[in-house]
Structure 1
């Protein structure tokens, strides 16, 4: 019979990175967690306001966290446990559940959140993780069902306390999962040519079956056939492996993270060859190795300590209204370019429309000293807002005493004996301080009193200490560059609110923000999309700069709103036309027309609140480095686009970076393609790198970041799946869960948000300072036995990280995995003469797909080859080596294939596994009611197999008792 070729391939492991790793900073910093004397403190867990009040939920949550504290203590070898945890309740919950008064706690700063499971579309706990290996993640996401339904949780995920430990590994230490996902192979070839299930440690024993049919999916590796796409590895119950939490935390025997100490516990020894995210993202390092490099344990910090009681102390608080004090610069330089007029204009909009009802705002203005213009005033109606807005400064005076303004801001927060803790000072200034007290003199008081300071640099000459002031006080930092197209001031004002109450069902979103030039003899026209998730309290703003404008706004049905409409309001003092839509604004495209009698810049912005019973579309941003102190300067930018908490994929996401004048802004397309700065394809996190820093006159130049996300061509989608990452459930994902591409269209939408500010040094070294980005998706596309070839594919890197085109590729291979992964250059070099397809000297542009076919040495026996690749640019900068892939070219004779796909599952499981499956510990599809003919067939196959097993002894189970996937 004609020979056929079968392919056994695995995507495997990442080579050591040569680029530095950066911390990921969110626009709003998370609650700061500290570890001192083995005790974690400062942990904040917030319950979303879509979760109904339930005392049992609070009780169960504390019970789970208490169990997790003890489990964490054991998993960290007696080096860490939870000591103090704050649980933040929605403001609609009863005061009877509260045991202390809330201060600075807000939902969007929580380290873990609990939401209503119906609004998530998935129950699986997971961690929102943007950063690279070893970097702290954003937050842990849990649902009310996970906490309330104890039996369901145990049946689905095992002990919920161990689930928390699993997620803590992601959150605190930047660890990654050790099970196979859609992106990585569930089975791989070791360097002996055996097929192994992806797991850590290899001490986890079990068997593998087709998740659809329940039939054994094992095949003879000599045939070259790998397990089918529905094949799943199922652990034996009970198991003996003690590791790892990042693989199958539901196993009762698992009590540790995998380690690399060959003299340590062999039942939790790290499996470096497994093609999982932990190995690929962390350069083969075990979870424990990464943990030991963290600030928690580095240099033997927090050594093991005997603790008899690891029960945490719980503070239960309720969300408190925001208390905001505007601290405004009225020094003489604020007259330049009519800055005081622009500030008055945008601050008026902030007070009249951006701050929601029920929150309080005060005003302080400063120059030589400071004056309290208004104490805190709760905003409830238009009268409150108008009266407060009328107190905003309109004229300037003398010098700049920033410290005076900060001290007066504290006084406003502390009036009538109130605590300043949790208060927010929004500091806006255009110059450097030149009067005592100075920022650094006041900062310790701000920190000790728990006051957050949001800073907005009004122009490039503002004091360079603003960014560090915000970071040290857990505040936000922004820049208004005064570029003619900049909307930075409006975006910043909006972000001070949306970044803090984004978890509220009454959240307000900035839908649109643009500044455009309007000729005196022309009409400025544009469109704004309002999607079906928002529409409450929708307000359109049109801000002019020199002379009044006229606006006509058209609803999607064509109805016009103009100056004769009741919804239309013109404020000549604030140079604003505002239109507030009564009721719910219709979904669809709105058209505006603006006319003026004088050429000028017009700023258009729209904000709207979430509709009832909908999951809003939100965009959140982070940068890998916002305060850059070294050169060459670079930062990764991330934007997460979600509907509720489900990822939105295939959206158009752009970051606009405003640079010091006269340099023009730079647009960076953020991609969700799993290449370059982006870690995972189609997870709703869009990433890109910014390198266009400039030499300018500012001592520490600031760059304002604005991010827009939208979908106007109908490509954006929400993946619908019951398992899309997170802790591994006991039930293996079935065909529908993982292998059917089920998505739901999002529809047209548009969002804009501030990405904060980046501060970089003056000196930018000339030349090409960055190598090509790392290739992370190298894979084997095909093999040919007749031609002795292996076809490889990958996504092209850039010339400078993610940008441009590299000059050449360095491709290597080896027959020995261990030697190869320790040093890329140990592999055999592949040259163009070894290729039958492709050219290593002609890379494609970043993001394009590469395919090359390598002619391998002719062999009569099956050989496993390992491949890795890296790119080089023209000046000689070399990128980090890629992940390693393995392939075996085998001769496949159908007459010699031994395939056990006819063996019935319930005739092969060992007694312990079968009993556990019947009790719900493990769930798979059982084949029952076999016919007599079927039973005879099984017996015949068993006889044949027994002979094959004797003949092929190398495929027998290994010494550790792990069943080889072949049989």
Structure 2
């Protein structure tokens, strides 16, 4: 066994890892730094030594594989391993050389060690939510893969890891096909040799397919996503290597990585609040005090360290960092630590840098220090921060490894630049934080209750992000609804308590003034029992709330009614909160494809939402995004929110792979009067109220580690992941706030947004009819929104022509359907024994065309010689209907492809078949006519005979009629009818 003596560096002091957590994975001087490996809480403690021992050997071998695959351009310099919270590192089964430091859970982990996957087992796999050249979300592998006991096993695991690293880091895709996959088949006909060949790279043993071995015409996912570029070309164009960065070194040896072992600790949160004169207006300061109290006293999870800092021209700590619990009065003391009145320091004199520095000092008083902590910065959206101070804040946050979430309070309509006035956008983006906003809603000297609720929920969203991923975390909003005053005297509604949340819930009524809540407050359980608030309700005037704690809450649909006495410009807010179930952890994670809060480029924004039950993806859930424009409309009202579904369909643009639990869609294209930076707040709700959602079950056969399978020997996954065993899951509902997105809007007269790309085009060929059928899913008009205007398609002679959309234009394409619907067309060809390439794209009403689709290669062998005269056109239409003539000229002098008519022999066959059918129908009708006439005559004769016989019969009342069992059914019915009549008549 090889020794790694002198290579392993144990984190003896916290500062040793201060530059690693949280951090970006970066390639510096040919060595990757900042790689974070997390070990799942689900893995048992007794496997600790084996997993850590295997991880060290596998990652060291992986560094060598990476060095070799990149020809000396990259290897691994350092690895930070985050151990589970529940592991005890001072016992025999998990004995480490030095004490392990406790740090806050990093916001980003690159490699996850967990239980086996239902499809991939313990082998490494990558979740890829974005397209070509974009990094993957994470790598996951099973802990069993690291528990091997031989060097060969470690070496093989390192090769498997190297096989998926290019997909994770550089955004390449699989260059092989799959059995029974129509889009990415396992084999295809090679246009060069004319023979069937396996769909893969020529050198399948090399983890990166270079130009010499790349097969651009192969129908695989990489060629579809990257438009025929080789994996090597995509990698060399990445940020790691472009502009001659990290060129190949002369060293023949890879770096031996250093390992830093840390352990997930409790979250540490400092709430930093601006205390200037601007907060003196209306109820702004009062709402801040109530919001901070609510989130600290009621929503902050136990075992969280919390402190409070206020700042104006200077900063001070009003509550030192303290550990939350549910026994002592610490929550009350921290929640009441805000000053009762704001200062009179002008807003322009505020010093945000002072607030950040004071927060770091408060964190440094804790043994864990500031690294990995979260600062929630609550500040107004006006005033300017000097560039020098902003640069210092960015430097401090980067060096100390903190995340900053900003809440702009209050946001006013005049703030068109939002965070740009402070430069907070750069600060938040650098630290992987989020920005939230609270609209300024005032009525005279008062502020609306909506403003207070929005501030409370923004604080809660930031706290939830800082909570441990593996714990029940902060409060979860189960139900939230506003009831305006002056409309109805009773607020009625319902909510559902399912088994994905704790059995303890809190029903709360928030008010502006306590007199706005009447005496009636009732809850109706799913079983129909009425729970009155008498002797159950509690009041907290410091948070403007009346609430009822409901222990051991009955599962099902609850109903409530609350007397609403609010006036017309206020109202009541009903919220039900709980926490995640300890037995069922459902998490909703939201992100976008842009790193910056403000997207001022022409690149589109794509919204992603991942919904999982533990580590397993949830399929067929209803995932709805809500986009709320900030500010007010011309009538002085809030803008109408936009709701739309996200999809996990695997169509390729934007959703890369179906069945992975990642739902996505393009941000809607919203036009305005002129070009401007418009800000929206994004939130996402996922639910299974209809009961259709499912999740995969682990296949027992896939959980065993297969150490010596081929790297590319996978049965999955092309367009989507197919699971062998699935199960329906109980109802659930989750809502999370993402924060603010800035989007550069376009004027109404400038439509520059094209349809999205078609990436599921495939074909089948009927050799007898020489018919080629093409199938695809309709794209949108503006990316994946709406309905495109028309299609353009060409049949090219070469792959290079197809890539640039050069070839024989196909006229008569079907009219596009609404986005998401399947479409097809069929052609009959007489172009035999040659390879052709079909490509397709959609065009909107102003001529914006989408990118070229994936390329479909076609080969039709020449049929046996016949005496039938061949049609004059190269391609003849197979079906008429629903088409337009796009009027484009041909790219070269060959007949156009048109929607064609049937061949003469086909028409003759059809006419003969129809004529024969009509003759048979006529004969059959004549036979039926004479047969029915004969039966009617016989039926009439039998009735007369029975009536005559019954004249001499005596029938007792209610007696059973006697039947002649030899008579027909018709006779029985007649006899019974007559007997009944006589018996009734007596």
Asked if Structure 1 and Structure 2 have the same fold, meaning a TM-score greater than 0.5 normalized by the shorter chain, the answer is yes
CA separation of 1:422/1:195 partners in 2, compared to 1, >3 Å: closer, same or farther?
Answer: same
1:414 partnered with 2:359: no
CA separation of 1:594/1:141 partners in 2, compared to 1, >3 Å: closer, same or farther?
Answer: farther
> Alignment partner for residue 362 of structure 1, among 307, 319, 328?
307
1:820 partnered with 2:801: yes
Alignment partners' CA distance in 2, 1:696 and 1:45: 48
Alignment partners' CA distance in 2, 1:823 and 1:661: 44
Matches within 5 A, 1:866-885: 866-885=837-856
Contact 2:472 / 2:579 at 8 angstroms: preserved in 1?
Answer: yes
1:403 partnered with 2:353: yes
Alignment partners' CA distance in 1, 2:356 and 2:751: 43
Alignment partners' CA distance in 2, 1:440 and 1:535: 44
Alignment partners' CA distance in 1, 2:203 and 2:505: 59
Alignment partners' CA distance in 1, 2:293 and 2:848: 51
Q: CA deviation at 1:310?
A: 2.5
1:595 partnered with 2:572: no
> Alignment partner for residue 468 of structure 1, among 423, 426, 436?
426
Contact 1:457 / 1:466 at 8 angstroms: preserved in 2?
Answer: no
Q: What's the CA shift string for 1:458-504, capped at 9, x where partnerless? A: 22545432222111233332223458878654443233333344531
Q: What runs of 5+ residues in structure 1 fail to find an aligned partner?
A: 1-28, 205-241, 246-256, 263-268, 833-838, 894-967
Q: CA deviation at 1:812?
A: 1.1
Matches within 5 A, 1:336-735: 336=281, 338-381=283-326, 383-398=329-344, 399-400=346-347, 401=350, 402-415=352-365, 419-433=369-383, 438-458=389-409, 459-460=411-412, 461=415, 463-464=419-420, 465-481=423-439, 488-508=454-474, 510-512=476-478, 514-520=480-486, 521-535=488-502, 537-547=504-514, 548-549=516-517, 551-566=521-536, 568-583=537-552, 585-599=553-567, 600-612=570-582, 614-625=583-594, 626-632=596-602, 634-662=604-632, 663-675=639-651, 676-693=653-670, 701-720=678-697, 722=699, 733=715
Alignment partners' CA distance in 2, 1:338 and 1:392: 15
CA separation of 1:105/1:403 partners in 2, compared to 1, >3 Å: closer, same or farther?
Answer: same
Q: What's the CA shift string for 1:410-463, capped at 9, x where partnerless? A: 221123787333332110112324587944444323333333221112225454
Q: CA deviation at 1:855?
A: 3.3
Greater shift after overlay, 273-282 or 427-436?
427-436
CA separation of 1:765/1:439 partners in 2, compared to 1, >3 Å: closer, same or farther?
Answer: farther
2:663 aligned counterpart, secondary structure: strand
Greater shift after overlay, 523-532 or 308-317?
523-532
Alignment partners' CA distance in 2, 1:739 and 1:411: 52
CA separation of 1:755/1:367 partners in 2, compared to 1, >3 Å: closer, same or farther?
Answer: same
CA separation of 1:420/1:582 partners in 2, compared to 1, >3 Å: closer, same or farther?
Answer: same
1:534 aligned counterpart, secondary structure: coil
Which structure has the larger Rg?
2
Aligned to 1:89: 83
CA RMSD after TM alignment = 3.4
Alignment partners' CA distance in 2, 1:121 and 1:327: 45
Q: CA deviation at 1:890?
A: 5.0
Alignment partners' CA distance in 2, 1:488 and 1:38: 47
1:109 aligned counterpart, secondary structure: coil
Q: CA deviation at 1:785?
A: 3.9
Contact 2:511 / 2:545 at 8 angstroms: preserved in 1?
Answer: yes
CA separation of 1:766/1:467 partners in 2, compared to 1, >3 Å: closer, same or farther?
Answer: farther
Aligned to 2:891: none
Greater shift after overlay, 770-779 or 588-597?
588-597
Q: CA deviation at 1:885?
A: 1.6
Contact 1:109 / 1:500 at 8 angstroms: preserved in 2?
Answer: no
CA separation of 1:345/1:769 partners in 2, compared to 1, >3 Å: closer, same or farther?
Answer: farther
Alignment partners' CA distance in 2, 1:93 and 1:720: 26
Aligned to 1:31: 23
Q: CA deviation at 1:865?
A: 3.4
Alignment partners' CA distance in 2, 1:336 and 1:513: 31
Contact 1:812 / 1:829 at 8 angstroms: preserved in 2?
Answer: yes
Q: CA deviation at 1:107?
A: 4.8
2:528 aligned counterpart, secondary structure: coil
> Alignment partner for residue 297 of structure 1, among 241, 245, 261?
241
Q: CA deviation at 1:560?
A: 4.1
1:365 aligned counterpart, secondary structure: strand
Q: What's the CA shift string for 1:882-913, capped at 9, x where partnerless? A: 011233445789xxxxxxxxxxxxxxxxxxxx
Contact 2:293 / 2:543 at 8 angstroms: preserved in 1?
Answer: yes
Give the TM-score of the pair, scaled to structure 1. 0.75
1:52 partnered with 2:44: yes
Aligned to 2:732: 749
If asked which structure has higher relative contact order (CA below 8 Å, sep 6+), I would say 1
Alignment partners' CA distance in 2, 1:86 and 1:764: 48
CA separation of 1:273/1:364 partners in 2, compared to 1, >3 Å: closer, same or farther?
Answer: same
Greater shift after overlay, 816-825 or 285-294?
816-825
CA separation of 1:824/1:309 partners in 2, compared to 1, >3 Å: closer, same or farther?
Answer: closer
Matches within 5 A, 1:246-325: 257-260=208-211, 262=212, 269-305=213-249, 306-308=251-253, 310-325=255-270
Contact 1:536 / 1:610 at 8 angstroms: preserved in 2?
Answer: no
Alignment partners' CA distance in 2, 1:104 and 1:290: 36
Aligned to 1:16: none
Contact 1:544 / 1:575 at 8 angstroms: preserved in 2?
Answer: yes
Contact 1:119 / 1:615 at 8 angstroms: preserved in 2?
Answer: no
Alignment partners' CA distance in 2, 1:587 and 1:415: 44
CA separation of 1:101/1:141 partners in 2, compared to 1, >3 Å: closer, same or farther?
Answer: same
CA separation of 1:408/1:694 partners in 2, compared to 1, >3 Å: closer, same or farther?
Answer: farther
CA separation of 1:721/1:793 partners in 2, compared to 1, >3 Å: closer, same or farther?
Answer: farther
Q: What's the CA shift string for 1:576-628, capped at 9, x where partnerless? A: 23333325x4433233333321143433444433434x342211111112433
Contact 2:359 / 2:375 at 8 angstroms: preserved in 1?
Answer: yes
Contact 1:178 / 1:276 at 8 angstroms: preserved in 2?
Answer: yes
CA separation of 1:500/1:143 partners in 2, compared to 1, >3 Å: closer, same or farther?
Answer: farther
> Alignment partner for residue 793 of structure 1, among 758, 775, 786?
775
Q: What runs of 5+ residues in structure 2 fail to find an aligned partner?
A: 1-20, 91-95, 442-447, 633-638, 865-986
Contact 2:802 / 2:837 at 8 angstroms: preserved in 1?
Answer: no
Aligned to 2:171: 174
Q: What's the CA shift string for 1:269-291, capped at 9, x where partnerless? A: 11222222211111211211111
Q: CA deviation at 1:314?
A: 0.4
Alignment partners' CA distance in 1, 2:784 and 2:284: 38
CA separation of 1:801/1:340 partners in 2, compared to 1, >3 Å: closer, same or farther?
Answer: same
Alignment partners' CA distance in 2, 1:341 and 1:699: 34
Alignment partners' CA distance in 2, 1:277 and 1:734: 12
Matches within 5 A, 1:105-184: 105-117=104-116, 122-149=121-148, 159-181=156-178, 182=181, 184=184
1:326 aligned counterpart, secondary structure: strand
Matches within 5 A, 1:56-75: 56-75=50-69
CA separation of 1:456/1:150 partners in 2, compared to 1, >3 Å: closer, same or farther?
Answer: farther
Alignment partners' CA distance in 2, 1:118 and 1:162: 19
2:502 aligned counterpart, secondary structure: strand
1:471 aligned counterpart, secondary structure: helix
1:830 partnered with 2:810: yes
1:846 aligned counterpart, secondary structure: coil
Alignment partners' CA distance in 2, 1:425 and 1:696: 38
Aligned to 2:870: none
Alignment partners' CA distance in 2, 1:766 and 1:98: 68
Q: CA deviation at 1:764?
A: 5.4
1:271 aligned counterpart, secondary structure: coil
CA separation of 1:294/1:467 partners in 2, compared to 1, >3 Å: closer, same or farther?
Answer: same
Alignment partners' CA distance in 2, 1:121 and 1:739: 11
Q: CA deviation at 1:316?
A: 0.4
Alignment partners' CA distance in 2, 1:287 and 1:671: 28
Q: CA deviation at 1:258?
A: 0.5
